Structure 1
Amino acid sequence: MRNDRPGYQYRANKDGTRVHYWNPRRAVKGASSALSIIRLPDDFTEDQISVECQRLTNQLRPEVRNAGNAPTFTGTISSLIECYRHDKTSTLHGVKHSTRIRDYEPSLRVLQKNVGDRDINALKASDFTRWFTGWKKKGHRRASGAIKLLRLILSYGAGERLRGCKQARDILSDMRFEQPGERTVKMTYDQCLAIVKKSAELECPSIGFVEALKFETALRRIDVIGEWSPPPEGGEFRWRGLTAGDISKEMILTLKTSKTGAAVARDLNSYTLVTEALKAYKLPEIGPVVIDEDYGKPYWENRYAEKFRKVRDAAGVPNNVWSMDTRAGAVSETVEATGSLEMAKDLATHTTVKMTKKYSRGDGLEASRRIAEARAESRK
């Protein structure tokens, strides 16, 4: 049985073809019998079936988990996590949906799977050290993320006066763990151009357009492709993001960034990569600007990342270059071209130059050459 398509079932037709379904009761234990089975498109590929089954399952799990009475704290880490997830006053419910799915939930799953049965009242510093060391073998960022969420849930438990949480939190707060190094990879202009051209060849030009727009404008991906998230009152996921109305007839893009609310205006006519991408990607007259060609709808985060990797690999771009590195490429190229961190800061809508420095990646060779030329010029 495949475990990458939770809830999947099918019905065979007489001609040998299959009708694909996602069954919520097969996907999530405890799902209501009132939930309907969803038929998947007949032309879905194997990969598309897996992605859709995972998306629907991940969407359903929190609803099932939060249904009914509040969970009972039994003293274990797992029960604390369930209380933290259920309590609407916890910090988990104060972050954006994308942050919760990308950062919080994966680390909570690591904790629940590996140490969920541990009694919080019996935890010692040696436990935390041993856990971190074990998690680090599977990835430094994974280990750091798990420790970060462990601090958060113990603080939540301490605030709710749950047994053992304050003592465990105090022990953990005095401990320091090695932090993962900052990323040093950046996407280059040539790499982005290769992705733009390859995406057109593979008939998924939306990928090239998104990466080109990010590279030229330093916008975050979420500000370009938008975000699917549930409304505060619960219910079906809704999309919000960049729409055709945000781009004028003169090709001036205006928006407010999702992270800081900073006002942004960009002349798309002035960007060579965007011009190249628009040879294959047609901007819609109404509705969301970026559409997933496979579904006819805006991208879900995981779908975009999956398709980006396929285009990147086909374009011959190294697999250590991620979509998130496009923004770093924009900032780095700006600093190299202008010698100004302030200009790069404005482009990326950072609040501090310190943050801009993290995105400006490279060995400083070109900057040092400009400085040497300027000093030599001043001596004449």
Structure 2
Amino acid sequence: MPSDADMPGLKRRPNKSGPPRLYWCARPDLVKKGYTPKTIPLPYDESKPGDRELISAACMRFQAEMLEWSSGRKRDLNRYDGTIRGLSRRYQTDEASPFQRMKHNTREKDLHVLKLIEKAFGDRAIAAIGLSDLWRWYEAAKKPKEPGAPPRVRRAWGIMKKLREMFSYGVAAELSGCSRVHAILQETRFPGPERRRTTLDAEHVAAFIPKAIEMGRVSLALGTAIQFDLLLRQKDVIGEWEPIPADTPATGIVLNGKRWVNGLTWSELVLDGVTRKVTSKTGAIAAHDVSLCPHVLQVVAHVPPERRVGPVIMDEKAGRPYADDAYSREWRAVARAAGVPDHVWNMDARAGAITEAEDAEADLDAIRSSAAHSQASTTARYSRGAVGKSRKVAKLRVAHRAAKNGA
């Protein structure tokens, strides 16, 4: 059985409710020189058979890493060292990591979450993580930003989702300790945010368009009309800014090292026929007869023919496509002036269009095709409170009852 000499750095702290809490602690002189982590909790009990061997193995490993650092071979920030931060850095830099194959905008959002994770508990040793830790982190992340504010469930759920993805990568990369924590995460369901139920309806669009035109923001009116009539995502209408690779010439519409891509252009928008747009999310083709889209035709009449060149949606103030979040910010200003409630977002236009189509008793598969969804289940999620199907069922029931009684 290992002796204390085989457990370098082991410290015991009293625990009124049970056996002493065990920690591995780095040498104070090396901590002063910048070594981290300073302390690592050990989830073991010396009184249990076999735990002393596990304690010894953990202490020897942590001690060896510390001594390696002190020998002058200071840790590479991206080297896996058995901590959450080490896993995060490997996840971000390993060429085989799924992080490397994400779209640039998804990667930017992920980096924000990864920074939160590293700051909050990056020093925690993976070997010491248990179910109680995960729930404690979830509850801490869920706390309101300020007293009286709603809990930040989406934030907490997103952090746990990212942890699950990181540990899944760790298992595939055969990083020590990841399989155990990944198994815990796979069997644990953290409450997520409620599914969004709000829609941007036809009456909202009818109020927004004239107000936007009145305020000199025809671009916002046209963008909203296209999103609603053609069931397109905001990104596929206004486009996005994509980083230009270092070895690629800066051609096209460029802003701060980024190139405008994926937005709708006037050459694609066929006003008297079928407009076909390759969607950015799945590559599916959305096809619509614009001559049957009244909101779009109403707004296009305010765009002189000589200006119908290049991107359809141009920021009137900047003379180029909208930069990053500017479209949503400017849209909200007009929406408030038009009386559209703040809880209704521009992104709800697609859901509003699909809900209206179902209310009109359009076939679900036809709606799916119009929205360029590959699966009807995806289309059904966008339908928020539609009564088209239930109305049709009620009519059929009444007709069936009448026929039955008549017989």
The residue number in structure 2 matching 1:49 is none
> What TM-score, normalized by structure 2, do the two folds share?
0.70
Aligned residue pairs total 310
- Look up the SS of the partner of 1:253 in the other structure: strand
Q: 1:169 to 1:115 in 2, by over 3 A?
A: same
Cα deviation code 1:297-343 (max 9, x no counterpart): 22234222222222222221111111221100010000111342122
2:297 aligned residue (275, 293, 304): 275
CA distance in 2: counterparts of 1:74 and 1:315, whole angstroms: 55
1:294 aligned residue (317, 329, 333): 317
The offset of 1:216, in angstroms, is 0.7
The residue number in structure 2 matching 1:323 is 346
The residue number in structure 2 matching 1:360 is 383
Identity %: 35
1:181 aligned residue (178, 189, 194): 194
Asked if structure 1 preserves the Cα contact closer than 8 Å seen for 2:355 and 2:386, the reply is no
The offset of 1:196, in angstroms, is 1.6
1:108 aligned residue (114, 123, 126): 114
Stretch moving more, 88-97 or 368-377 = 368-377
Amino acid across the alignment from 1:305: S
Asked if structure 1 preserves the Cα contact closer than 8 Å seen for 2:131 and 2:184, the reply is yes
- Look up the SS of the partner of 1:245 in the other structure: coil
Asked if structure 1 preserves the Cα contact closer than 8 Å seen for 2:271 and 2:290, the reply is no
Asked if structure 2 preserves the Cα contact closer than 8 Å seen for 1:227 and 1:240, the reply is yes
1:310 aligned residue (330, 333, 342): 333
Q: 1:194 to 1:262 in 2, by over 3 A?
A: same
The residue number in structure 2 matching 1:169 is 182
The residue number in structure 2 matching 1:158 is 171
Asked if structure 2 preserves the Cα contact closer than 8 Å seen for 1:209 and 1:281, the reply is no
The offset of 1:186, in angstroms, is 0.9
CA distance in 2: counterparts of 1:122 and 1:371, whole angstroms: 56
The offset of 1:170, in angstroms, is 2.4
The offset of 1:288, in angstroms, is 1.6
1:99 aligned residue (89, 100, 106): 106
The residue number in structure 1 matching 2:26 is none
Q: 1:292 to 1:338 in 2, by over 3 A?
A: same
Amino acid across the alignment from 2:272: E
CA distance in 2: counterparts of 1:108 and 1:234, whole angstroms: 28
**Given the alignment of the two structures, is residue 238 of structure 1 paired with residue 259 of structure 2, yes or no?**
yes
Asked if structure 1 preserves the Cα contact closer than 8 Å seen for 2:311 and 2:321, the reply is yes
The residue number in structure 2 matching 1:77 is 84
The offset of 1:231, in angstroms, is 4.1
Asked if structure 1 preserves the Cα contact closer than 8 Å seen for 2:199 and 2:349, the reply is yes
Asked if structure 2 preserves the Cα contact closer than 8 Å seen for 1:334 and 1:343, the reply is no
Stretch moving more, 89-98 or 144-153 = 89-98
Q: 1:309 to 1:88 in 2, by over 3 A?
A: farther
Cα deviation code 1:216-237 (max 9, x no counterpart): 1111111111121124557732
- Look up the SS of the partner of 2:346 in the other structure: coil
**Given the alignment of the two structures, is residue 128 of structure 1 paired with residue 134 of structure 2, yes or no?**
yes
The residue number in structure 2 matching 1:58 is none
Give the CA RMSD over aligned residues. Answer: 2.4
Unaligned runs of 5+ in 1: 1-68
Cα deviation code 1:259-310 (max 9, x no counterpart): 2222222222221211232244457433222112232222234222222222
- Look up the SS of the partner of 1:244 in the other structure: coil
Amino acid across the alignment from 1:275: L
Unaligned runs of 5+ in 2: 1-75, 145-151, 249-256
Asked if structure 1 preserves the Cα contact closer than 8 Å seen for 2:356 and 2:386, the reply is no
**Given the alignment of the two structures, is residue 203 of structure 1 paired with residue 222 of structure 2, yes or no?**
no
Q: 1:149 to 1:359 in 2, by over 3 A?
A: same
> What TM-score, normalized by structure 1, do the two folds share?
0.74
